[in-house]
Structure 1
Amino acid sequence: MSRRAAVISEPDIAIESPLDHEAQPLFEAAFREHYTPLVQYLRRRIGCESEARDLAQDAYVRLLRYRENQNLESLKALLFRIATNLMGMRSRRARARRWNEHQPMDEELIVAADSPSQEQQLGDQQQLDRLMAAIQRLPNKCRQVFVLSRFHDMAYPEIATRCGISVKMVEKHITKALAICRAEVGDSRS
């Protein structure tokens, strides 16, 4: 997909809604200002442009239910929360569909697949021990940033705020930590 094809344009839709005349301009402004960023947000998470547009439309329809929000920023936060919830509902429905289509395997195959050999278990434990030792030897700030990122699933901006450093420094600490860990343990991607 070319860069030009990835550009999202707002649909030329007039919002027809049962809103009173005071609320309608606010919702139209919310639509015009937040439609493109919302579709981009959804597309990055879903990976499909048409589904992202469908979810964005559903989010705007649900947003119309909230008439008490009277400023653009609160509508934006609510809109993105609604869209995130819709993604979760979509994901749960897809998992339920896949579960209904599940075909059980023979129990002998399941036991064999779930039981790694003793050699594999020992090798995995040794590699984990080497990794934990490498993490313990990282410089304090580097270790703190790495642990927050990899073990607590914090985003780089959150880590930067918590540690009182820039996002760029967070990136440098993560890069350094990964290089040290790979040197100590090896890269298991090969």
Structure 2
Amino acid sequence: MSCDPTKPSLLSTLVRHYDELVDHVRRRFGDRGFAREVVHDVCVQLLEKRDKPEAHSPLALLRKISHDQAVTRYRSDRRRQAWLVERPALPDAVSLAPAPAQQYEAARELDLLVEAIGQLPERCQMAFVMHKIHDIPQAEVALRMGISLKTVEKHLRLGLAACRAHLDYPQDGQ
């Protein structure tokens, strides 16, 4: 390849007509930042090529190269965007889970309740667990245990009083 010193090189033409090439790409693709990136890419390509093509009209060739580079880049960006999955922004929500201190306190209270129920007399404990823990109606508890409804109510009052006392809760009427 012969170098004619009277003909300007593509790289020197690009430097002289940089703004014009950017405007050429911007007019077709609408974004000045995109256009600058394309012209910079063309410049890098020219710097990296060992055999630079000779052109009768270097500016026209640079416009064509820039346009082709812009089309390639635009298509590549569109394909990449098609693969991206839009995810909605996560809302700024406060966790409804109890704090560790609350979890510890609840576990401590549960242990105290289990201890209080365990200290009840056997029949009182049975009535209390069936009604309060297993949610069995008082009438059915009375039927299953073979005792009167009034006795079930008495066992429940005693059980609640023992649990409150064990947890240091104030008693009713105090």
What interval of TM-score do these two structures reach, taking the shorter chain for normalisation? 0.3 to 0.5
Q: Which has the larger radius of gyration?
A: 2
- Give the TM-score normalised by the residue count of structure 2: 0.44
Higher RCO (CA < 8 A, seq sep 6+): 2
